[in-house]
Structure 1
Amino acid sequence: MAIPKKARDYQKELDSFIRENKTLANLILKNTKKFAQHDALKQKVKGKWVITKWKDFGEQVRAAAKGILELDLLKPGEMGGIFSANRAEWHIADVAILAVRGVSVPIYATNSSEEALYIVEDAEIKVLFVGDQVQYDKAKQIRKKSGYLKKIIALDRDIKIEGEDSLYLDELIAIGRNSSREPELEKRLQEANPDDLLTLIYTSGTTGAPKGAIHSHRSFMGGIYPSLTRFPHVGPGYVTMAILPLSHVFERMWSYGAMTVGMCVAYCPDPKQFLEYVTEIKPHFMCSVPRIWDKVYGTIQEGLKTAPPLKARLFKWAEKTALEVYRLKAARKTPSLVLRFKHAVARKLVISKVHKTLGTENCDVYHVGGAAFAPDVNEFFFAFEINTIQGYGLTEFFPVAVGFDGHGIPGMCGPMLPLCQARISDEGEIQLKGPMCMLGYYKKPEATKECFTEDGWFKTGDIGKIEQVEKDGETFSYIKITDRIKDIIITAGGKNISPQQIESLFGDELFIEQIVVVGEGKKFISALVVPNFVILEDYCQKNNIPYHSREDIVKHPSIIKMYEEIIEKRTVSLGQVEKIKKFTLLTKELTQEDGELTPTLKVKRKVINQKYAEIIDKMYKE
């Protein structure tokens, strides 16, 4: 008779983890000694890779922290901001702020000076670390208007600074190295406790002004520890690539988790450089968004159209074989001996070359989140043994679901983490409870009250369902998101339409850069479509379609017809009320600078509907 496995007491384990480490600053600084000679940080500087060992990382953090104390920049509980793209100095500044019991507040590198000023004033930021000249110049503008900001610290020596309110990070570190503040730093580290505030992370503000979600060291460790139980094999020698902004809770918390077990964090400053960096770094882990994988998949499929016939047929055969094997294994069936042989050949001739081209040879798990991930695209990468597993979480409650090897399901997020509870309200909303929940919104008690139920569950604003899946004698919970409550379109006929589900059908379409589904209160669904003009202009040249401007292209009958066919093909699976009946091709991309997208590139639907009201109305009058 089999002896049942003893259930793990995750709460007891988490309590012990928090007692042992107290704060993330203490944990990370302990690791700088524990993993001293291993690689901690890796970044490209002027075309060359620079590696920082854990020992040196710790020394720089401690020196920067002592510099903060020497200049009296932050008292316990005061806010320090980081306004920078991903780079090693981001984490040096971040951990230094935490080491002096400060609160680290990230600002998206792409934010305008007005957006950054809002955060500086709302959070009462005293010192601001900046990553490049553009951010420094914005910080100087903010300094003139702010009642709180006193000091600007440039992370890069290439930044031109001026005035007594500015200095370089290496100057701050030098001040710390020459100071006698070591006892004071140790005192602050010892006096720190898990309930100290760790950070304010500002929501992306799709429906209004951003709100600062308050997280303590306890709430972040409440998300980190159960996530790491999924990866007991990971430690020094493993590399995670930070490609999403560290300002976002997704990349921020995962990077802390990586540091918890001694992984090396390699930095990609811009998601547009994904292919360049991933092929050089060859990461074991990364956080990503569906758009990255949609584009990779779309590029592969489009490339097959012009590939030599023999090469294209070989790839399609390998793809078919890999999908067949994956689907059998997912259904817990064993592939036949013949199929296993074919799969081995496909691996050698095609799949291994895809890994080499993409730099995914070391893939353990590539976490995917932030938007809907098309199941067929997800399944393709699973079949090619690239574990693009969809997770789930929110700025206020992170993470909820974290995938691990062999447990990803296309179209689903998960599995859910231990210690995280989920339920579905009568309205279909996902509601959550767990130790990774924020404390509330900074200075916004009413908004805080509104996001919790009377019995204390966090209201996500997401519509979805929870499914239980049995695997290897265990039951795992998965979440399927269908849309945001605030995004649902109600047509004139009273039908509820999920715009995100429709838009996700176009994720890997190379001829479409952006698409926004509209139709609130209208008789049918329409769309605003931004073409990928790099691809489209090349298409026009190859097909002798004359043009002098983008306006000429989007008005050309053959181009309009091509997009009609693309939309018809992509939406064939939808019901009649969900189908896009009309569309307009726009000549300009939607951008954060124009207020149409959030810093995380989510569509501000209210803004779009107002800004393009005339174009939208015209589609319903024609």
Structure 2
Amino acid sequence: MKQHIIHILKDRVKKYGDREVFRFRRRNEKEYSSLSWNELNKDVDSVSKALIHLGFGYNSKIGIFGDNSPKWSIADYGIMGIRGVVVPFFGTATKEQVKYIVDETEMELMFVGNEEQMEKAKWVSDQTKSLSHIVVFDDDIQLPDKRFKTWAAFIDLAEKVEDDKLKRVFNEVQADDLATIIYTSGTTGEPKGVMLGHDNFIHAFAIHDERLDVTDKDISMCFLPLSHVFERTWSFYMLYKGVVNVLLENPREVIDVLPVIRPTMMCTVPRFFEKTKEGIELEYEKWPKSKQNIFNWSIATGHKYSEYKSRSAKAPVFLQIKKAIADKLVLKKLRGIFGGNIRMMPCSGAAIRPELLKFFHATGLFVNFGYGATETTATVSCFKSDVYNFNSCGTIMPDVEVKLGAENEILVKGKTVFRGYYNKAAETAKVLVDGWYKTGDEGQFAEDGNLVMKDRIKDLFKTSVGKYVSPQKIELLLGQDPYIEQIISIGDNRKYITALIVPTMASLIVYAKEAGLNYTSDEHLVSMVEIKEMMQKRIDMLQKGLASYERIVKFELLHEAFTVDNNAMTSTLKIKRNIIINKYKELIESMY
């Protein structure tokens, strides 16, 4: 399939015309607005023309630093329309992170979203020689100086370029043009720019077509950052399939808007389901025993039904009847949390507890868990719609090869594998060997051939008594406790394992009230002996099945959660292990 993403866009514009392509809500507005395919095409062409007027063209590295919005995607396609290279930034990136990328790519123009992002861009422009043009999506922001343009003023520049000139550029686009450089979120070390071509994305569309059932009647909710390969590739795929994409600027609003939008699909991460189940459990604790029993019976019935479904087997008639009753009593209401129309939710980005997957499948939701990386244009494996194994990351995608190397490292080969790291030939040579991408993840194949991702090889640690330990194994096990919201285990070159635990404060507050505990703050509550003893008992029960050297011997409770805002998590909600360990170094040492 020799195509460019701009070819796809132009073809779909002809097909869908005035039909809706984006739905969005402007900040401080209650009502949703729409953008048609024709309007998208016009705006994309305007961005391309304005960039041509400013002297940009083939291989120009142009940044987008903002939260999800139609303008983000319009800029994305507009840059591609001149054969430029899109360099996205996470909306929460620090000015130092932005500067590093600007310096490495010698970026001259950047689109920014809000005032905070504009101020960071200004600081970077002041510090660097290259960044001289900054276009601000928000037309209401006061601009600092002549380096800055409002979106409206930038779009006006398009009038200075003839249509024929844009057509000549468009006729030159090639399937092997470099489309984007996506900088890894960096849970460890220096960020690396992953180079992906249009051919990588086009091939990703083809293999997803063989695995997924997506039609132009679907509605997708886009709440993960477009700067991440998972949501970006999915959004490109939605364009390819003619799907309405609902762009959510503030991801914290997702649970509130799902019943309004009622999407049929959306990309998710495990943390989303963890937080949703915590909310369900908090409500459950308030119910009378009779209501809890109905809930438990309904979920148990859903479990039995989903077991048949996961084997592509037909459930017995009696179970079908029980499932219909459970649906009316409980399951339909739980699906209503997600809007009630969900057909599929691709999920990736971190490990997920099988019990969590089973719970949501029991409600009738198809959480399509998979494995992938930025370097593989997202998906390497995912569930099939009719057969799936909850203890795995699904089956390998069509036309993708996977094998296990030294230390059972997952190696990936195929047309979706990246070209290399930008300006980092030595780093590229370490991970791209004879066409095989060395993921750095330890894996195995289940008996049914499904891929299982065990842990990050770099995260595995060796205790001072010579035992290798998987932190993911410990953290997934203990993380299922309703009183544990987040956990990070420590033990590298130590005599025993310790942990930093962020308790689920809402549950802890309920427990404290029932136990008659008096406290003055969250910090005071987590420091109380009674709370520590209660948590110790729960941890001891959970880790009975672990080997003695895998068990947590000591732990500390934290009142502050690990978040994106305090730099303890990436924008896709993965724990930054090294940063947390460094931040709490003294507290960790006190446990030894």
Same fold (TM over 0.5): yes
Q: What SS does the aligned partner of 2:337 have?
A: helix
CA distance 1:343–1:604, change in 2 (3 Å)? closer
User: Do the aligned partners of 1:289 and 1:369 also contact (CA within 8 Å) in 2?
Assistant: yes
- Counterpart Cα distance in 2 of 1:510 and 1:93: 43
Matched to 1:216, the amino acid is G
Q: How does 1:475-554 map to 2 (within 5 A)?
A: 477-507=449-479, 509-537=481-509, 539-541=511-513, 543-554=515-526
Q: What SS does the aligned partner of 1:486 have?
A: coil
CA distance 1:418–1:302, change in 2 (3 Å)? same
- Counterpart Cα distance in 2 of 1:86 and 1:539: 39
| 1:509 Cα offset (Å) | 4.4
| 1:237 Cα offset (Å) | 2.6
CA distance 1:588–1:334, change in 2 (3 Å)? closer
Q: Which moved more, 1:142-151 or 1:402-411?
A: 402-411
1:417 aligns with 2:397: yes
User: Do the aligned partners of 1:113 and 1:141 also contact (CA within 8 Å) in 2?
Assistant: yes
- Counterpart Cα distance in 1 of 2:525 and 2:106: 49
2:77 paired residue number:
95
1:36 paired residue number:
17
2:527 paired residue number:
555
Structure 2 residue corresponding to 1:63, chosen from 24, 43, 46: 46
User: Do the aligned partners of 2:86 and 2:179 also contact (CA within 8 Å) in 1?
Assistant: yes
User: Do the aligned partners of 1:38 and 1:237 also contact (CA within 8 Å) in 2?
Assistant: no
| 1:345 Cα offset (Å) | 1.2
Structure 2 residue corresponding to 1:401, chosen from 370, 374, 381: 381
- Counterpart Cα distance in 2 of 1:569 and 1:180: 70
User: Do the aligned partners of 1:466 and 1:479 also contact (CA within 8 Å) in 2?
Assistant: yes
2:343 paired residue number:
364
| 1:28 Cα offset (Å) | 1.3
Query: Which stretches in structure 2 are left out of the alignment for 5+ residues?
Result: none
Q: Which moved more, 1:390-399 or 1:436-445?
A: 390-399
Q: Which moved more, 1:584-593 or 1:364-373?
A: 584-593
- Counterpart Cα distance in 2 of 1:417 and 1:71: 42
Q: What SS does the aligned partner of 1:152 have?
A: strand
Structure 1 residue corresponding to 2:57, chosen from 66, 75, 81: 75
CA distance 1:328–1:235, change in 2 (3 Å)? closer
| 1:508 Cα offset (Å) | 5.1
TM-score w.r.t. length of structure 2: 0.95
| 1:307 Cα offset (Å) | 0.9
Deviations 1:272-307 (A, max 9, x none): 222112222221111111111112223223322221
1:235 paired residue number:
215
| 1:566 Cα offset (Å) | 3.2
1:281 paired residue number:
261
User: Do the aligned partners of 2:479 and 2:487 also contact (CA within 8 Å) in 1?
Assistant: no
- Counterpart Cα distance in 2 of 1:320 and 1:108: 40
Query: Which stretches in structure 1 are left out of the alignment for 5+ residues?
Result: 1-16, 470-476
1:193 aligns with 2:191: no
| 1:595 Cα offset (Å) | 4.6
User: Do the aligned partners of 1:70 and 1:181 also contact (CA within 8 Å) in 2?
Assistant: no
- Counterpart Cα distance in 1 of 2:367 and 2:451: 16
User: Do the aligned partners of 2:255 and 2:337 also contact (CA within 8 Å) in 1?
Assistant: no
* Percentage of pairs with the same residue: 32
Q: How does 1:438-449 map to 2 (within 5 A)?
A: 438-449=418-429
User: Do the aligned partners of 1:112 and 1:593 also contact (CA within 8 Å) in 2?
Assistant: no
CA distance 1:523–1:504, change in 2 (3 Å)? same
| 1:414 Cα offset (Å) | 2.2
1:330 paired residue number:
310
- Counterpart Cα distance in 2 of 1:225 and 1:183: 32
- Counterpart Cα distance in 2 of 1:166 and 1:570: 56
- Counterpart Cα distance in 1 of 2:335 and 2:453: 30
1:615 paired residue number:
587
| 1:585 Cα offset (Å) | 1.2
- Counterpart Cα distance in 1 of 2:413 and 2:98: 31
Matched to 2:89, the amino acid is I
- Counterpart Cα distance in 1 of 2:312 and 2:171: 51
CA distance 1:343–1:492, change in 2 (3 Å)? same
Structure 2 residue corresponding to 1:167, chosen from 139, 149, 160: 149
- Counterpart Cα distance in 2 of 1:353 and 1:35: 35
Q: How does 1:139-150 map to 2 (within 5 A)?
A: 139-150=121-132
- Counterpart Cα distance in 2 of 1:407 and 1:43: 35
Structure 1 residue corresponding to 2:575, chosen from 589, 600, 603: 603
CA distance 1:219–1:331, change in 2 (3 Å)? closer
- Counterpart Cα distance in 2 of 1:446 and 1:562: 51
- Counterpart Cα distance in 2 of 1:341 and 1:401: 34
TM-score w.r.t. length of structure 1: 0.91
User: Do the aligned partners of 2:269 and 2:572 also contact (CA within 8 Å) in 1?
Assistant: no
1:389 aligns with 2:368: yes
Structure 2 residue corresponding to 1:303, chosen from 280, 283, 293: 283
- Counterpart Cα distance in 2 of 1:572 and 1:549: 32
Q: What SS does the aligned partner of 1:602 have?
A: coil
| 1:507 Cα offset (Å) | 4.2
Q: What SS does the aligned partner of 1:432 have?
A: strand
2:118 paired residue number:
136
- Counterpart Cα distance in 2 of 1:41 and 1:87: 9
User: Do the aligned partners of 1:463 and 1:485 also contact (CA within 8 Å) in 2?
Assistant: yes
- Counterpart Cα distance in 1 of 2:162 and 2:539: 64
Structure 2 residue corresponding to 1:589, chosen from 561, 566, 581: 561
- Counterpart Cα distance in 1 of 2:116 and 2:49: 28
1:341 aligns with 2:343: no
1:220 paired residue number:
201
| 1:445 Cα offset (Å) | 0.5
User: Do the aligned partners of 2:258 and 2:337 also contact (CA within 8 Å) in 1?
Assistant: no
CA distance 1:569–1:34, change in 2 (3 Å)? farther
| 1:539 Cα offset (Å) | 4.5
1:466 paired residue number:
445
- Counterpart Cα distance in 2 of 1:101 and 1:332: 45
| 1:497 Cα offset (Å) | 1.0
| 1:429 Cα offset (Å) | 0.4
2:552 paired residue number:
580
Matched to 1:575, the amino acid is A
Q: Which moved more, 1:348-357 or 1:42-51?
A: 348-357
User: Do the aligned partners of 1:326 and 1:383 also contact (CA within 8 Å) in 2?
Assistant: yes
| 1:576 Cα offset (Å) | 2.3
User: Do the aligned partners of 1:89 and 1:155 also contact (CA within 8 Å) in 2?
Assistant: yes
2:235 paired residue number:
255
Structure 1 residue corresponding to 2:543, chosen from 566, 571, 590: 571
User: Do the aligned partners of 1:298 and 1:508 also contact (CA within 8 Å) in 2?
Assistant: no
Matched to 2:316, the amino acid is S
Q: Which moved more, 1:558-567 or 1:109-118?
A: 558-567
1:114 paired residue number:
96
Q: What SS does the aligned partner of 1:191 have?
A: coil
| 1:342 Cα offset (Å) | 1.2
| 1:98 Cα offset (Å) | 0.5
